[in-house]
Amino acid sequence: MNSIYVLSESDTMELLEMEEVIEAVENVYREKTLGSGKLFPMVFHEFESQVADMDIKSGTLDDMGVYGLKLVSWFGENRKKNLPMLSGVVMLFDRETGIPLALINAEHMTGMRTGAAGAIGARYLARRDSQVMLMVGAGHQATYQIRAMQTVFPALKKVMVFDPVNMDNASVFVDNFGYKKENTQYIAVENIEAAAGEADIIVTATPSRKPMIMKEWVKPGTHFSCMGSDMEGKQEIDPEILASARLVADDINQSVNVGEFEKGIKEGIISKEDIICEIGDVISGREEGRESEADITVFDSTGLGLQDIAVGYMAVKKAGLMDDIKKMNF
């Protein structure tokens, strides 16, 4: 009889360190490019437009000997009920037998791996001397994005936070942000146009369906990590920005169908061929990301089930459970 281990949110909070998660997600991008990581088709359902949705992302990591899935739900009205807006579970299975290995609460883990993804995009595409970050969106994900970006860019001097829904959200977020660095300034901003013009790195993590940042606001050399567009119709930045930028995706097929590049392609502003490559190609040295200091770069992160599988596997191993699982099941 096989046994399935369960890891709670408190378990993952204790087990996962941002530096390790960044390394795991970076390795996933590399493995996907090299062919040992494969995605399965995504499942998505919107219960109510811009209010509640769910998706299932899955795949296999052959080198680790596991495959799996993550089912995640986003219910925006949960904030009013003092409940998490984002929740879900990750399931891991043995690659050789199909036997389930572990069930993992995905709330904290999703935040960690998504934060890591945004920072990895900046690591390989932003200017090395970047010192000013603009965080667009002051929700649950903002904490992880800033935390990860500070890990990759420890010399950040200024972090600005803008919330498109309510300025008070940004102020409350900055006051309560628990990972402040001694030499970094953290401020809530009301004028997104001025903030976008100052920023070296802009991270967007919202459910927006219309552009929040316009092309004429953005200075040469700016990098975007677009994290919020993960379903058809979502859009965070002016598609005209894409027309003159170097475009990189986590997965090209997902990006053109449900990502930040989707609307630009549908409107004829860019084409699929304008996407230079996937981020794994840049990490592995197959493609050049940024070519000059003046390049505007955009990383479209739609999210990969492989990230969750890899980080979940790491959590199970760090908990010392993998050997026990194999003994009991095999």
Expressed as residue numbers, the domain containing 131 is 126-303
Vertex 76, ends 197 and 83: CA angle to 5°? 120
Note whether residue 174 is domain-resident.
yes
Whole-number pLDDT of residue 229: 85
Note whether residue 116 is domain-resident.
no
Note whether residue 114 is domain-resident.
no
Q: Indicate if 82 and 130 belong to the same structural domain.
A: no
**323: helix, strand or coil:** helix
Q: Indicate if 325 and 296 belong to the same structural domain.
A: no
Q: Indicate if 324 and 234 belong to the same structural domain.
A: no
Note whether residue 117 is domain-resident.
no
Q: Indicate if 231 and 170 belong to the same structural domain.
A: yes
Whole-number pLDDT of residue 322: 65
Q: Indicate if 91 and 132 belong to the same structural domain.
A: no
Q: How many CB atoms lie within 10 A of CB 120?
A: 25
Question: Which pLDDT tens digits describe the chain residue by residue (330 residues)?
Answer: 567 899 999 999 999 999 999 999 999 999 999 999 999 998 989 899 878 999 999 999 999 999 999 999 989 899 889 998 888 999 999 999 999 999 999 999 999 999 999 999 999 999 999 999 999 999 989 999 999 999 999 999 999 999 999 999 999 999 999 999 999 999 999 999 999 999 999 999 998 999 999 999 999 999 999 999 887 888 999 999 999 999 999 999 999 999 999 999 999 999 999 999 999 999 999 999 999 999 999 999 999 999 999 999 999 999 986 666 555 554
Whole-number pLDDT of residue 180: 96
- Catalytic one of 32, 38, 57, 70: 70
Backbone angles phi, psi at 242, to 5 degrees: -65, -30
Residue by residue, DSSP assigns 103-139 as: EEE-HHHHHHHHHHHHHHHHHHHS-TT--EEEEE--S
Note whether residue 115 is domain-resident.
no
CATH number at residue 267: 3.40.50.720
Q: Indicate if 251 and 292 belong to the same structural domain.
A: yes
Q: Indicate if 188 and 295 belong to the same structural domain.
A: yes
Q: Indicate if 45 and 93 belong to the same structural domain.
A: yes
Whole-number pLDDT of residue 326: 54
**Residue owning tokens 């967007």:** 204
Question: Is-catalytic flag, 57?
Answer: no
Note whether residue 157 is domain-resident.
yes
Q: Indicate if 222 and 290 belong to the same structural domain.
A: yes
CA dihedral 31, 32, 37, 38 (to 10 degrees): -170
Number of domain units in the chain: 2
Note whether residue 18 is domain-resident.
yes
Q: Indicate the DSSP class of residue 81.
A: G
Whole-number pLDDT of residue 325: 57
Residue 253 tokens read as 């097929």
Whole-number pLDDT of residue 327: 55
